Chain A
Amino acid sequence: MKEFLYTMIVVGGFLCVVGATAEEPAEQARPLGLPPVPYPKDNPQTPEKIALGEKLFNDTRFSSTGEVSCATCHLAEKGFTDSPLSVSEGINKLKGTRNAPTVVNAVYFETMFWDGRSPSLEDQALHPFVNPVEMGLEDHQPILDIVRSDPAYVKEFDTVFGKTGDAVTMTEVTQAIAAFERTQVAGDSPFDRWHYGGEKDALTAAQKRGFELFVNAGRCVSCHVIEQTQALFTDNRFHNVGVGINDIQNDVPDLAREFLKAEAAKTDVDVQVLTDKRTSELGRFAVTREFDDLGSIKTPTLRNVDVTAPYMHDGSLETLKDVMVHYNNGGVTNEDDPVNDFLSGGIRPLDLTDEQIDDLVAFMEALTSPSYARPAEADSSK
C-alpha cells in the first residue's frame, strides 16, 4: 500500500512538473553578468513563437529582389552582424550609412537603432523592410501576402496567435521576430566569471589592468556601464563622441535646416538617415531636433565587441585599438583634426600610454560570451 502511494505521488508530481512546463512561457535563465531579460506583457514568449520568429528573420522573400532578409546583415555566425562590412548592404548591394548593430543583448536597449528612433524591438522590425537600401519594399503588403497564403506560415500563425487570413498583420509578424530576438542574450564571458563569478584566474594580468583603466583613467564606465551585480556596458543614452560628425562640422547649420525642411515634407527619418551619409551624421538630432543631440549616437553594448568589427555607428574604425586611439585623442581620429563643437562633455584627451591602450583592448576581448568566442580561444583558459 505504501509503495503504491509512493508511486502515485511520484507520478503525480512528475505530471505536475510536466504540466507546469507546458504552460510556462519559454523564458531563459539569467546569464551570468546580465539582469533579467525584460519581456513586454503583450508579447509573451512561447517556443512556437520563437521558432516562427526565427523563420521570419531568415526569410529572404520579404525583399524586393527576394535576396535580403534580416539575417543578411545580422548573421548568427557573425555575432548577428555583417562583420567585416563597415556599412550594411541591402538589395542589389546598395550601401546604407550605418554599421549593423548586433541583435545579441539588444533586448536590453530602451530604444533601437543608433539614434534611438525606434522604441521597441517590435517597432524596429518594421523599418528595414521598407527602406530603399535595405529590403526595398514599397510597403509591407508583400510580406502580409506571403504570411497569409504560404501554407506553413498559415499554420504557424494560427498555432501561435490563433489568427488566420486578414487577422494576421504586421503586429503578429513583428511580435514573432521580436520574440526570437529576445532569446539572443549572452553573458558568462571571462569578465563575468571574474567579476561576478569570483573566478580569480578568468582574466589575464593585462585584462585585469585593462579593467582598472576601464573604470578609472579610461573613463569608459561613465557610458559603458558596469554595475555591482550586472553589466550591460551601455547607459542607453546618446553621446557625441566625435565620429563622423567631424566630416560635417562646417555644414551643420545648413544640414540641420535642410533636414527640418525635408521632414516637413514628410520624408521618413528612417529613409533620410540611411540614404544620405551627411544627414546620418546629425545623429539623434534627426529624431528629437534638440541642439543637445547634434551628432549624438547611442552607446552600444561592448559585449562580444571583439567579434563585431568594424566599429562605431559608421563602421569607420577598423580595430578596437583604432577606437582606443580615437578616445585617447579626445574625440578625434587623427590627433590634429579639429574637435567638433558639439562634442560630449565626457570626452577628453586621456593621455594613455601604448601599453595602457593594449590593456584596454585586452579587457574588451574578455567580454566575449562562450557561444561567440573565436575557435582558437574557445577552449583555452587564459
Chain B
Amino acid sequence: MSEFRPTRRDFLKSAGALAAASALPVSTVELAFAEPEKNFTFAHISDSHIQHIEGTKFVRNWDRGLIRAVAETNLLTPKPDFVIFGGDLAQLGKKEELDHGAEMLSKLDYEVHCVMGEHDYYLDLGEYWSELYGPHYYSWDHKGVHFVTLNSILTYDDWTYDRWPTAEQRMLEMAGLDNPNGSPFMVGQKQLEWLGKDLEGVSKDTPVVVFSHSPIQKIYKGWNFWTEEAEEVQALLRPFENATVVYGHVHQIQYNQIGNISFHAVMATAWPWPYPQSYAQAASKLPKLTVPMNRADPFFERDATGWQFIDVENGRIAMDYNLYNNTNRTVAFNPNTGQPEDSNYQASDRRIAPQIHY
C-alpha cells in the first residue's frame, strides 16, 4: 500500500505509545500531525431515518443507531473540527421526526453542518428543516479547503408540484427506494448556476469537498442511486486539482474516482441497503473500485451500519468507517494510484467471504 498515513484511528490506538514517550496526555497528540493548520479531522453521521410510530414512540432500532453514533463521535480524541450530518434525518419528513433527530444530534459537542435528504424534504419541501438547520445549499472555507453542501435530491417540477394530491402522498412515494412512481434526483438549474458562480472565486489548487445526499454519479436508477446532472456537476469540478464528493443515501460503502474527482459514500446509522448487484432483475453498476462492505447480519441490528471520521491531509481524504459489530474499514486516497483504496481489502486476493456473498 501507500506510505504510512497516520489516521485518527492509529492515534487512538497508538496514543499510548506516543503519550508514554512524551509524558503528555492523549489529547495533545494531534500536535504530531504535520502542518496541523492544514490537516484536520471531521466526523460524518448520516441517514438516521428517525421514524415516528405514534405519540412519543419512534422505531427504536433507528433511534439506537443515531444515539450510538453521537456518543462515539463525542469520544473522538483528538476532537474533530466539525460534524456533517449527511441527510435523511427523518423518515417521512414529519416535524416529530425532525425534532427527535435534532434533539439527538444536539448532544454532539461540535459544530454541525447538515445536508438535505429526500426523506427530510418531500413533506414540506424543506421548510421545517430550514428552521432547524438553515439554507439548503451553501459553502464555507476551513483550513484551506473549500466546502460545498448541495441539495441534490430535488426532482422535476411537475413531479414535485403537480403529480400528487397531498404532501403526505408525495412524501410516501419518494420514501420508497424501489418505488416505480419515484423520480430521479437532481440539483436543478438554479443550483448549477449557483455552484458555477461559487466556484469561480476559488483558485484551482484549492482542495474542494462537496457534501451531497445523492451520489453525483449515475449508479443505479431503479433505487435513485442517481443524480440527473451528474456530468454537469462533475464538469464544474473538473478544473480543480483535487476534488472530492462525499455522499449519503446509499447506506453502503462505495467509492470511485472519475478523472480528478474522488467519490466516497458514507454509511447509514439506521439500516444497510443491499448492493445493486444483488437485485437479479436489473443490470446495475457499482464503481469497480469498491470493495463491498461485509454482508449484514440482521440478528445484530447495528451490523452494516455506522458512522465515519474523515482525515483531511493536503486536501485528500481518508475515510474511517466505524462499523458496529464488524471490523472497521478505512478507504483513503492513494497518491501512487491516484484513487481511493481500501487499506486492507483492495487487492482482489484479500477479499473475505462476507464481502463476496451478495
Contact = CB atoms under 8 A, between A and B. Distances in A.
Interface in B56-81: 60-61, 64-65, 67-68, 70-72, 74-75, 77
A264 B325 contact: no
Nearest to A296: B325
Nearest to B76: A291
For the side of the interface on B, what is the size category?
20 to 34
10 contacts: A257-B77, A260-B26, A264-B15, A264-B19, A292-B324, A294-B72, A344-B302, A344-B325, A345-B303, A346-B300
A256 B77 CA distance: 10
B16 A264 contact: yes
A248 to B, nearest CB: 13
Given A343-B68, A344-B325, A345-B303, 5 more contacts: A261-B25, A289-B13, A292-B325, A292-B328, A341-B71
A254 B322 CA distance: 20
Given A256-B75, A264-B20, A266-B20, A345 B328 contact: no
Interface in B286-304: 299-303
Interface residues of A, number: 24
Contacts of B26: 257, 260-261, 264
B19 A342 contact: no
B16 A341 contact: no
A291 B16 contact: no
Most buried by B among A256, A263, A291, A349: A291
B323 interface: yes
B47 to A, nearest CB: 16
B202 interface: no
A349 B71 CA distance: 21
A65 interface: no
Interface in A223-264: 252-253, 256-257, 260-261, 263-264
Contacts of B325: 292, 344-345
Nearest to B16: A264
B258 interface: no
A7 interface: no
Contact of B64 (A291, A294, A343): A343
B299 A346 contact: yes
A28 interface: no
B16 A345 contact: no
Contacts of A266: 20
Interface of B: 12-13, 15-17, 19-20, 25-27, 60-61, 64-65, 67-68, 70-72, 74-75, 77, 299-303, 322-326, 328
Contacts of B19: 260-261, 264
A291 B67 CA distance: 13
Contacts of A344: 300, 302, 325
A260 B60 contact: no
A265 B19 CA distance: 9
A209 interface: no
B308 to A, nearest CB: 12
Contacts of B65: 345
Q: What 10 A-B pairs are tightest by C-beta distance, nearest first?
A: A345-B302, A341-B71, A264-B16, A345-B301, A264-B20, A291-B72, A264-B19, A222-B299, A263-B16, A346-B300
Interface string A337-366: 000011111101100000000000000000
Nearest to A252: B75
B105 to A, nearest CB: 14
Contact of B328 (A263, A290, A343): A290
Nearest to A219: B299
Interface in A249-287: 252-253, 256-257, 260-261, 263-266
Nearest to A340: B71
A292 B301 CA distance: 13
A96 B15 CA distance: 28
B59 to A, nearest CB: 11
Interface string A312-350: 000000000000000000000000000001111110110
A298 B75 CA distance: 23
A277 B16 CA distance: 22
Contact of B27 (A252, A257, A263): A257
A289 B324 contact: no
B328 A341 contact: no
A256 B25 CA distance: 12
A292 B323 contact: yes
Contacts of B16: 260-261, 263-264
Q: Which of A222, A260, A265, A292 has the most CB of B within 10 A?
A: A292
